[in-house]
Every structure is written in structure tokens, then in C-alpha cells.
Structure 1
């Protein structure tokens, strides 16, 4: 039996909200997302934790007193931990007015306060604060040089705030965020920020679209006439992409994609998240995760303590089936079997000392 216990396996709760709404489907409650996560089990293995979005209707980011204690009790009662937190920065784009950019930084500050309290209460042993530019590629393209400078300045201010709380910020690589919509623009933005506590959040579904140059054709890695049956070319493309972005990667989402874009509700079109068992999926999930989790020499980077599945914009019908989460957990277990490691748990070590 494979004894790897790291990286820890997390499920995201925000798919219960993102892409939902009046013009789509109703949100799925936080409690339901937690319960479906906790109930998933494969050969005695369960999810270790959840990554959560700090936004309504799941979480009130301003409720840092009794509300956080209730959250901790609820999550802990299901034998789960909390990892990465998504900062609700979309009301103040990083390329916005002075006031909007200040609002962006303030939301990061609130997220860091929330995260630090979760750490103090012992439910959040690892994880980062996830951000994006909250700006469109189209707006960025009007003045690329100054757009990147403005995003970088906002991110720098956010990094300085996060540093006060011992937090790192992970910029999500997704084709719908300006300045982050291609692998080259992502690296340009991160380099322009120039802070030690910022990195990249890789999502296997979103980064697959980087290979195809969606929203920035000049940064395409795979040829225009690429045939998905050419696994050799896909592998080389993944190697090129991950060699460039892996050194920045501090947070990681396991995912599947069928090579298309998708959007629901108010969410812009981005890389489609597919079921782990989707026959149209273009990725070999366990194998291809290794390009992110291992360096160019094949050695484990151990750059983060947990990995997460993001089922963003899955339909409610799919998310309400327990088999969905069992299949996802099974896929993540395979990733850990191939690219994980073993560490003695702190509590076990403490028990041994006693």
C-alpha cells in the first residue's frame, strides 16, 4: 500500500457559488459542499481539507469573531482542515482607479486577518491567499506596458500588507484575467511585482489553455494545427510551460480539461473544468500533474503542502452526486501515489514523545 501522506488532498468549496446566480443556477450552500467533501471515501482514504472562498453567501469576511469560531468548529467536526483562501477582490480591479485599487488591497488585508485567525485556532496549517487582477485581457491590451505596471503596483501593495500577517499571495493563472491571461504575461506580471511573498497558482485546466494561446495568440506554445492525438507534442508543450512557471508555483489545482473554454453566470469564459472521468479530457491527470510537482530532473519540489481540486462551474446536478466527489478523490489519490511523499504527523510525533 502506498503510504504517502503528502501533499494533503483538498476540495474547493467555492464551486458552490462561482458561476451560479439569477441567470444560471442557485448556489450550493457551504454546509452542503463540506458534507459532500467529508463523505467522499476511496479505500479508506478521505479528503484532508478544503480551500474556501471568503465571499457570500458562504463566508462573511468581516465576521472575524464568533463567526470564525463557528466555522472552525464546523470544519473540524468533519475532520477537515482549511488551506488556501480566495480573497474577494473583484469589486476593486488591480487596474482600476486609486480608490478601486485601495479597495483591492483592503480586501487582501481582510483575507489575511481571517487567515491568521484560522491559523491561531489550529485549523489552517498551510495554504496561501489567492488573488487575480480582476481586470479583463481586453482592457489590459489597450496599453500592455502601463497595464502591467499598474497591476504590479497594486499587487506590491497587497504583498506588503500580506507580509505583515506572514501570508503569501498566489496569483491565479487564468485566461480571463488581464495581465495573467497567458504564460508570458503571467511571468511578466510576477517579475514586475518583485516581492518575495508572491507566486503562481497553477490549475491544470486553466494552464492547458495557455498552450493554445487563448486571448493572446502570440504566446501560443502548441502549433495552430495541433492534433490532440499527438501526445508527444502535448508532452513537450507541458514541459515548456511548466519549466517556465513551476519556479513560481506555490499553490496547485488538480483538474481536467477537454480543450475548450466555458463560462456560466457572471463568470467569463475560461478553461473548462471537466469531471475527472470525462472521456473527452485531454490530460492524463496523474501523469501530467507531475510536470508541476517535479522539477526538470524529476525530483519532487515539495513547494506546497496540499493540492486542491477545483470543480468550478460544474452543474448543480453533477455536484450533488456523491459519486462525483468519489471519482475526484480517486484521481487525487493517484496523483499523491505518483508524486507524493511521507512525513510523520506532528501529533503522532508528540504522542511518541509522551
Structure 2
């Protein structure tokens, strides 16, 4: 059996929802996502849990105590824990732009409060021993670019208010570095936004598929690290670029998504184009998943930080037929196990 039991290995539930809908493929319900996660197994090792989308059709953000307990019971019945939550902070699902009108920004903070309340109740039910609440700016880069200074100030103010609310529930907020979000679309821009928030319970959620696009400066060309004509076969240059970026973002990182990317962007349904999530064994994948995860999980001297208690695989916008194949999740679990064996540790439980 593997020697390491930390970080815990989670699957994300939201690939069943994100990029789905009337203008794409049907959403995959939470029971099916839990079943797919629970059934995956590699050499006797299984997923330890899943991260949860706190919105319909998975878990209504306005869920009462009975609904939250039912979700906890579903996880427990499959011997799974729940980790990080995604707060539905976007317009159209009850939220609003973090740099929008006063009303929109208040709606944003309200959605964070509701997600934090759910998170606290799941902790009290003993099913959520770790994890954060994930947010973004809920605005596109072009709108942000109309006034970078003023809009960053507004986003920071909204995030600050959300952090203060989250602190009341013992929660931290992780801003995910997707290139499709204004004020977060470049690695330096992301750090500027986080620094402007100036709260102890704000951090960064690194996703290996999304942050690879930071290196290309896709929506922030002036922050590009790799040259325009970059040869992906130049592993030494790629590693150097990853080290530069992770050295800056790692101190902020409080949540981590393992993923693969082929160096392109992709969007489906209503989701804007962002770093494409690829299958773990995609032959076009540009990352060495296990090796490159170490840039996030180890410090600049190669020492384990042990800050991240669980890691999560994010396969957003995978086609439904791919998601329904057991092999997909076994391959993903196998990649996650490799990450833990290379960069994990053992704790008595």
C-alpha cells in the first residue's frame, strides 16, 4: 500500500455542472458524480472525498439544515469527505460582479456568506475536516481593463467585505486564477489583487491547467513568461517558467487543483474560454503532472510545505460521455496517487 496518506485525494463535483446546460450538454447530477468518484480505485486506493459546487443542481445555496445533512449523509455513505466549496458568486445565479454596482457587490458578498454557512454546518456534521470557499471576480478581463486601478480597488473592497464575513464562519476564501476573470487574468495581476485585499483569510487557488496559461500571457500579454514562439519540447525553459510563477504565487496558495493542459484554451456552454482541462493521459498534455505539482507543494528549496491538506482533480468541461467512463476516473486517481507519492507525507489519524 502507498506510504503517504496526505494530502487527501479529492475529485471535483462541479465538472458535472460547469459548462453544461441548455446551450451545451445536460448537467450531471450530484449523486452520479459521487458514485463515479466512489467507484474509482487503483491498486486498492480510492478517492478520499470530493469538493462541492454550492449551487443547483448540486446543492442549493439556500439549502436548509435538512438538505445540508442529506448531502453529508450522501458523502458518508460512500466513505467520502467534503472539502472546498465553490460559492455561486456570478450574476444570473444570485451573485454579481465584484467591481459592479453597490447592489451587485452586495449580492456577491451575500452568496459568499451563504456558502460559508453551509461550509460551517458541514464541518459541524463531521464531514468536512478541511477546505476553503472558492471565489472569483465575476467579471471579464475586458471590462476590468477599462480602468485597472479603479476596478482592482473595487474588487479588493468586495473581496475584503467577503473575507470579513467568511471569518465569522471560520472560513478562508481562495481566488482561483482563471484567465477569464478580470483582475485575476495574469499572475502579477492576481497578486496585486490579493495584496490589495489585505486580509489574512484570502488566498489563491492554483489550478495547474489554468496557471499554465499564465505563462503564455493569454489575457495579459505583458505578464507573459514564455516566448510567443515557445517550443513545448524545451522542458528546461518550461520548468524555469513554472518555477518563476510558482515562487510568486505559492505563498498565497491555500487550495490546489491537479490538472493537465495542452497549452490551449476552451469554453463550453456559458463558460468563457480558460485553460483547457485535459485527460490525465492526454498525449498532447504539456505538463508532467506529478513533477510539476511539486512546484506548488514544495518550497524553493524542495521542502514539502504541508500547507495543502487535500488536493482536488478538476476536469471542468470534459464531455459527458468521457465523464461517464470508469477509466476516466481511474486514470485521474492514478495521477493523483503519483502526486501524493512524490510530494505527500504520512500522519497518524
Report the TM-score, using the length of structure 2 for normalisation.
0.98
Question: 1:239 — aligned with what?
Answer: 243
Question: 2:21 — aligned with what?
Answer: 21
| Alignment partners' CA distance in 2, 1:63 and 1:207 | 33
Question: 1:74 — aligned with what?
Answer: 74
CA deviation vs aligned residue, 1:250-283 (integer Å, no higher than 9, x gap): 0000000000000000000000000000000000
| Alignment partners' CA distance in 1, 2:146 and 2:100 | 14
CA shift for structure 1 position 64: 2.6
Q: What aligned pairs does 1:5-20 form with structure 2 within 5 A after superposition?
A: 5-20=5-20
Give 1:221's match in structure 2, choosing from 225, 248, 266.
225
Give the SS at the match of 1:42: coil
CA deviation vs aligned residue, 1:96-127 (integer Å, no higher than 9, x gap): 10000000000000001000000000000000
| Alignment partners' CA distance in 1, 2:326 and 2:61 | 29
| Alignment partners' CA distance in 1, 2:40 and 2:84 | 20
Give 2:258's match in structure 1, choosing from 254, 257, 265.
254
Question: 2:126 — aligned with what?
Answer: 122
CA shift for structure 1 position 157: 0.1
CA shift for structure 1 position 223: 1.1
Unaligned stretches of 5+ residues in structure 1: 346-354
Question: 1:190 — aligned with what?
Answer: 194
| Alignment partners' CA distance in 2, 1:251 and 1:19 | 22
Question: 2:267 — aligned with what?
Answer: 263
Q: What aligned pairs does 1:94-105 form with structure 2 within 5 A after superposition?
A: 94-105=98-109
Give the SS at the match of 2:56: coil
Question: 2:336 — aligned with what?
Answer: 332
CA shift for structure 1 position 23: 1.2
Q: Is the 8 A contact 2:297 2:308 kept in 1?
A: no
CA shift for structure 1 position 25: 0.4
Give the SS at the match of 1:283: coil
| Alignment partners' CA distance in 1, 2:140 and 2:207 | 19
CA shift for structure 1 position 69: 1.1
| Alignment partners' CA distance in 1, 2:306 and 2:90 | 31
CA shift for structure 1 position 296: 0.3
| Alignment partners' CA distance in 2, 1:201 and 1:173 | 7
CA shift for structure 1 position 4: 0.3
Give the SS at the match of 1:41: coil
Question: 2:185 — aligned with what?
Answer: 181
CA shift for structure 1 position 2: 3.2
CA deviation vs aligned residue, 1:293-345 (integer Å, no higher than 9, x gap): 00000001111200000110000010000100000000000000000000001
Q: Which runs of 4+ in 1 moved over 2 A?
A: none
Q: Which deviates the most, 270-279 or 63-72?
A: 63-72
Unaligned stretches of 5+ residues in structure 2: none
| Alignment partners' CA distance in 1, 2:266 and 2:328 | 19
CA shift for structure 1 position 237: 0.2
| Alignment partners' CA distance in 1, 2:193 and 2:64 | 32
Give the SS at the match of 2:244: helix
Q: What aligned pairs does 1:305-320 form with structure 2 within 5 A after superposition?
A: 305-320=309-324
Count of residue pairs the alignment pairs up: 345
| Alignment partners' CA distance in 1, 2:321 and 2:2 | 33
| Alignment partners' CA distance in 2, 1:236 and 1:132 | 28
CA deviation vs aligned residue, 1:42-68 (integer Å, no higher than 9, x gap): 000000000011011111111131101
Give 2:326's match in structure 1, choosing from 318, 322, 338.
322
Give the SS at the match of 1:206: helix
Give the SS at the match of 1:148: helix
Give the SS at the match of 2:307: coil
| Alignment partners' CA distance in 1, 2:163 and 2:130 | 18
| Alignment partners' CA distance in 2, 1:121 and 1:169 | 21
The alignment yields a C-alpha RMSD, in angstroms, of 0.6
